[in-house]
Structure 1
């Protein structure tokens, strides 16, 4: 029976031309580098033990002929979660045994890095830690196998793989060791939680495979997180972090996770001795599947001059989609609504029913097929703290070849609910919601749903952006279903336009809508 625990690796790198044989005390150390790892062992056969990580710096310092599998000026140390004591962290020497390229993972990532995304960390980053980089030793990312040369204290959990589930049903947990060299008491077995947001697939003869080779997560990537073990909240194995994928324009970042089965398959192809017999195994299919259709559609827009745009929308009946007015914009030539790769319909853009609110309805030329059920609008006002989920076609162009149409998924809660009628007066209804479920660029018009009932709480209009231009995806501004979308739909059905008070327009422009009064405290007699 195999068990696992969080671990860390430490690279000590001497200046060029030095070696650890010449400088065993490390007086000429140029730089130290730490990152996360996974320690695995067979409880019934203690001699079967290994450490897995994914460090591009370590890959570039490997040397098959070198002592400990490394170049002479590099030293590799490993530590385990169980080795963290009240006063110290125990490190032992590690021997690099194999650098195994994750070929399918690289094929998936190339679909994005060739189209406006950057992957980190890369081999080029090794320059920043003084490595004499002359080209990558292996495709990146890779899975690296290390043999600990000393006894690592064990504090393990049983290795069990997660059974198949759609991404909206799983909460991810990453145990990692970012910044472990800063203070291991703080950062050893550092635990963060988030969601499986998107799945990446390889292609065979131009057709996407059914097995996802990559899981993209909304978990914030931290330096040194690569090599972290990913589980569900019950400790069942899901995969390992290998890096992050960022949109070149700064629109958003997703943490890249390799599914556990992908890791195991890759290692077994390299050598049968890496065949880890888990206490519970799954098929070669991915334990993750895309969330089922819940009304959220992809929208592609043809613009003048051959340009194109895209966004999201929500099907609210078989012929009507609600989205933001800025998704089609004013200079569109045609609009297409996509339910999946093979079902779509051109759409007419109706007159905006509420001038001043970024909301419009699309009327489908062809009704949605019966297999695609519309969303149900919530009839009760949303409230602060309400658990919600967001679905929108952010970051990735939805109809790109070689991958299925799937929205980005996130989970959060209603952070703020501004009660105000469309006339600008006090009301039980909301005029604006703020959600911590992520909204990425391209998610505009996507749905925010009640996590318990599945009802549509609202549609995302934009994400936050601070003065320096940094985008805040977990600050989503949401147009409420109850109080705004429902009233706009009634106006559309009557062929009328409503009026929106300037105070509501100011609210959506993030201008002050409430007077600030100073109420000095009166002294008591």
Structure 2
């Protein structure tokens, strides 16, 4: 039987200090018990001996006193020696990401290590009562709770057993079970090593750190799954410490027909997402623009189908942008390419309501050829606008604003509701000015990943209808104004009657 309690760890050298979270793990088997502290270290193994270690937890912390127990190393294990995990991590580190707190210690590719610690003094007081440790796994959009000791140099009493809530956005799968996860849970200082659980209290792993895009596009919390950590449990707790690794649940993204689309030439590459809608692929014009407007014969446009298949667009495929004002393009695949796409589920279109739950599904923030699933993120419908498609038609939904997170690369992805009905196509994030101190003018802006404008499915289908009918109706000019965020109303100032 396994039990656990959260812990706080300090690593102190003559020139440096670090703090992380972790867990005390007790393993009972055949009448014997082994108790050790586990954490994820940002410090390279080669310099670990330079640090003094101190641990506080449970019985050693109260409102008046924090007793720090001197610790020593039992063993350390480099998670990055696992080739599949190293490959997964490298796709971020070589594409504009940094991993914190690890890259606060080194500017080179970081070494991620699992540390097992024990007291220097065998008689030291340690927490003996813990919660049952149940090993589990999760699929995209599972709700999680992280228990950690953030800001532990500031106030380890106030922030002890701190609970952070969020969702799994991506699971990196190896032979049916997840090696690592990405979560939209906000990473807090000193959270590395924190316990990650589902709402049923089963644990899916430990926090590694914060993957942050260096250009400011966004960040996600990186979690190592027990499928990865299970390789080291027998080395730490003995050969009997082998638990059954549960198979990952089916991800809801498996049934959402979105595909990464990569546009490139001999000198550059960009990517986005396309969504299957009524036998065609819908995406944004700005995703395809480098390919459509290319004068270089080396320009390519490749759609990555789930698995190892690729579709290279050619002159046999037809790209139509019916209304440039909408930033909406349709890819009509040739019969052979449509067959290569395979059997694809056509999602049921659905309208939306303000405050209803929505999910963004797309290949935002990062993409590599080994990526098997899109990021899925939860939010709500924040605003909704309806206008006639042409001036003599009835109003339809013409813009959706959602708080479901979207990033560079999400463009052209799907916005779905709780039933996986297709609500819209992701288009763009809001870009706003950063507030400035009076007297300064820098003009700096930032993108808001939780303020995303989407093309409602009714607008997409009406545009597609005009393409298939080979018609070019006059788009309501107010829709074009709306998509430039220009006002289409009149301001009227009420004034009192003249005497």
TM range (shorter): 0.7 to 0.9
Measure, in 1, the Cα distance between the counterparts of 2:105 and 2:237: 31
Q: Is the 8 A contact 1:354 1:499 kept in 2?
A: no
The aligned counterpart of 1:20 is: none
Measure, in 2, the Cα distance between the counterparts of 1:78 and 1:274: 26
1:119 corresponds to which of 71, 74, 99 = 99
Alpha-carbon distance, 1:520 to partner: 8.6
Alpha-carbon distance, 1:427 to partner: 7.5
Alpha-carbon distance, 1:345 to partner: 3.5
Alpha-carbon distance, 1:254 to partner: 2.2
- 1:50–1:353 CA distance, 2 compared to 1 (3 A): same
Measure, in 1, the Cα distance between the counterparts of 2:494 and 2:147: 49
Q: In the TM superposition, what whole-angstrom CA distance separates every residue of 1:102-135 from its partner, at most 9, and x where no partner exists?
A: 112334312332343322222x62389xxxxxx9
Establish whether residue 193 from structure 1 lines up as the match of residue 157 from structure 2: no
The aligned counterpart of 2:43 is: 57
Measure, in 2, the Cα distance between the counterparts of 1:372 and 1:186: 54
Q: Is the 8 A contact 1:326 1:358 kept in 2?
A: yes
TM-score (norm. length: structure 2): 0.83
Measure, in 2, the Cα distance between the counterparts of 1:425 and 1:146: 73
Alpha-carbon distance, 1:506 to partner: 3.4
- 1:377–1:77 CA distance, 2 compared to 1 (3 A): same
The aligned counterpart of 1:75 is: 52
When structure 1 is superposed on structure 2, of 354-363 and 428-437 the one drifting more is 428-437
Alpha-carbon distance, 1:368 to partner: 4.2
Q: In the TM superposition, what whole-angstrom CA distance separates every residue of 1:75-113 from its partner, at most 9, and x where no partner exists?
A: 322122565434444432222222210112334312332
Measure, in 2, the Cα distance between the counterparts of 1:116 and 1:32: 27
1:341 corresponds to which of 307, 319, 335 = 307
Establish whether residue 325 from structure 1 lines up as the match of residue 301 from structure 2: no
The aligned counterpart of 1:166 is: 139
Trace 1:304-315 onto structure 2 (pairs within 5 A). Answer: 305=266, 307-315=268-276
The aligned counterpart of 1:93 is: 70
Q: Is the 8 A contact 2:7 2:58 kept in 1?
A: yes
Establish whether residue 456 from structure 1 lines up as the match of residue 422 from structure 2: yes
Q: Is the 8 A contact 1:459 1:479 kept in 2?
A: yes
Alpha-carbon distance, 1:142 to partner: 0.4
Q: In the TM superposition, what whole-angstrom CA distance separates every residue of 1:21-63 from its partner, at most 9, and x where no partner exists?
A: xxxxxxxxxx653221112124687852111111223856522
Alpha-carbon distance, 1:231 to partner: 1.2
Alpha-carbon distance, 1:291 to partner: 3.5
Q: In the TM superposition, what whole-angstrom CA distance separates every residue of 1:57-76 from its partner, at most 9, and x where no partner exists?
A: 3856522xxxxxxx3xx432
Establish whether residue 221 from structure 1 lines up as the match of residue 221 from structure 2: no
Measure, in 2, the Cα distance between the counterparts of 1:84 and 1:512: 58
Measure, in 2, the Cα distance between the counterparts of 1:433 and 1:155: 50
Alpha-carbon distance, 1:251 to partner: 2.3
The aligned counterpart of 1:415 is: 382
The aligned counterpart of 2:23 is: 38
- Secondary structure in structure 1 of the residue aligned to 2:481: helix
The aligned counterpart of 1:23 is: none
The aligned counterpart of 2:319 is: 350
Unaligned runs of 5+ in 1: 16-30, 64-70, 129-134, 203-208
- 1:224–1:188 CA distance, 2 compared to 1 (3 A): same
Q: Is the 8 A contact 1:355 1:500 kept in 2?
A: no
The aligned counterpart of 2:345 is: 374
Aligned residues: 469
Alpha-carbon distance, 1:211 to partner: 5.0
- 1:116–1:290 CA distance, 2 compared to 1 (3 A): farther
Alpha-carbon distance, 1:459 to partner: 1.0
Q: In the TM superposition, what whole-angstrom CA distance separates every residue of 1:140-187 from its partner, at most 9, and x where no partner exists?
A: 100011114532345632111225x5324x222211222122123442
- 1:233–1:502 CA distance, 2 compared to 1 (3 A): same
Trace 1:199-238 onto structure 2 (pairs within 5 A). Answer: 199-200=171-172, 211-238=177-204
- Secondary structure in structure 2 of the residue aligned to 1:182: coil
- Secondary structure in structure 1 of the residue aligned to 2:326: coil
The aligned counterpart of 2:439 is: none
Task: Supply the RMSD in Å over aligned alpha carbons.
Answer: 3.3
Alpha-carbon distance, 1:344 to partner: 4.1
The aligned counterpart of 2:4 is: 4
TM-score (norm. length: structure 1): 0.79
Alpha-carbon distance, 1:446 to partner: 0.4
